[in-house]
Chains A and B, each alone.
Chain A
Amino acid sequence: GAVVSQHPSWVICKSGTSVKIECRSLDFQATTMFWYRQFPKQSLMLMATSNEGSKATYEQGVEKDKFLINHASLTLSTLTVTSAHPEDSSFYICSAGQPNEKLFFGSGTQLSVL
């Protein structure tokens, strides 16, 4: 079945640095991918919709200059957390699916900002 791969699984960085997270669709093309964040013991919150070849659509309250999304190909979307701060520490998850098929989720990336 379709698989979504996310990398890295975890990352630790210093405050003020930027971190890039990759989301790949392994055996299908995804014109749309989704990025979520999840704080401990809370549910997933949609951050943005990544659209291949065009600008991402951000949910209300999500800073687009803080969370840069690039969807340059049909199999890869990247989320860059710029100038990360400790409050950005969270579990980040991507999802994708083929049209008229169920949605698959990546394994998630645990970001810890020191």
Chain B
Amino acid sequence: DAKTTQPPSMDCAEGRAANLPCNHSTISGNEYVYWYRQIHSQGPQYIIHGLKNNETNEMASLIITEDRKSSTLILPHATLRDTAVYYCIVMENYGQNFVFGPGTRLSVLP
């Protein structure tokens, strides 16, 4: 079973920030938080991952709470092409046996 819970769906206006929450209350000390997204009929795409510090790359920012029981993925300026299902996964660093939950279906609206 997936170790994370996410809202099933969210809407965001184009150009605004999209904030996608994830709860992982049973995360262990050596587990990282990974985010992937899946655009319709494609394979999942890596977005970002982190352990306890906040992370930022060209795609998104990841904010992890101090107790590490939850995190938020931030897409700073959402575009229509960001419409996808976003998966939050906890895994030992660079582990490969991912277990996918249902994810959050983000709809970016014009």
CB pair A97–B96 under 8 Å, yes or no, is yes
Q: Give every chain B residue within 8 A of A67 (Cβ-Cβ).
A: none
| Interface residues on chain B, number (Cβ under 8 Å) | 21
Which chain A residues lie closer than 8 Å to B103 at the CB level? 43
A58 at the interface (CB under 8 A from B): no
Assess the B41–A95 pair: CB atoms within 8 A. Answer: no
Residues of A within 8 A of B38 (CB): 44
How far, in whole Å, are A110 and B98 apart by their CA atoms in the complex? 21
A34 in contact with B97 (CB, 8 Å)? yes
Range of interface residues on A (Cβ < 8 Å): 20 to 34
Q: Main SS of chain B's interface residues?
A: loop
A70 within 8 Å of B (CB atoms): no
Q: Inside 8 A of B43's CB, which chain A residues have their CB?
A: 4, 6, 93, 95, 105-108
Given A43-B87, A104-B46, verify A49-B41 contact (CB < 8 Å).
no
> Which residues of chain A are within 8 angstroms of B100 by Cβ–Cβ distance?
36, 43-45
B45 touching A105 by the CB < 8 A rule? yes
Q: Any chain A CB within 8 A of the CB of B42? A: yes
Residues of B within 8 A of A49 (CB): 97
Tell me if B101 is interfacial: C-beta within 8 Å of chain A: yes
Partner of B97, one of A43, A45, A46, A108: A46
- The residue of chain B having its C-beta at the shortest distance from the C-beta of A107 within the complex is B43
A95 touches B87 (CB 8 A): no
Q: Are A97 and B97 in contact (CB under 8 A)?
A: no
A108 to B41, CA, bound (A): 7
Q: For the complex, give the distance between the alpha carbons of A107 and B45 in Å.
A: 9
Q: State which residues 45-76 of A face B: CB under 8 Å.
A: 45-46, 49
Interface residues of chain A, those whose CB is within 8 Å of chain B, are 4, 6, 32, 34, 36, 42-46, 49, 91, 93, 95-97, 99-108, 110
- Could you pull out 14 A-B pairs where Cβ atoms are within 8 angstroms? A34-B97, A36-B100, A43-B102, A44-B38, A44-B100, A93-B43, A96-B96, A100-B93, A100-B94, A102-B46, A103-B94, A105-B36, A105-B44, A110-B41
7 nearest A-B pairs in the assembled complex, by CB-CB distance: A105-B43, A44-B100, A43-B100, A105-B44, A100-B94, A108-B43, A107-B43
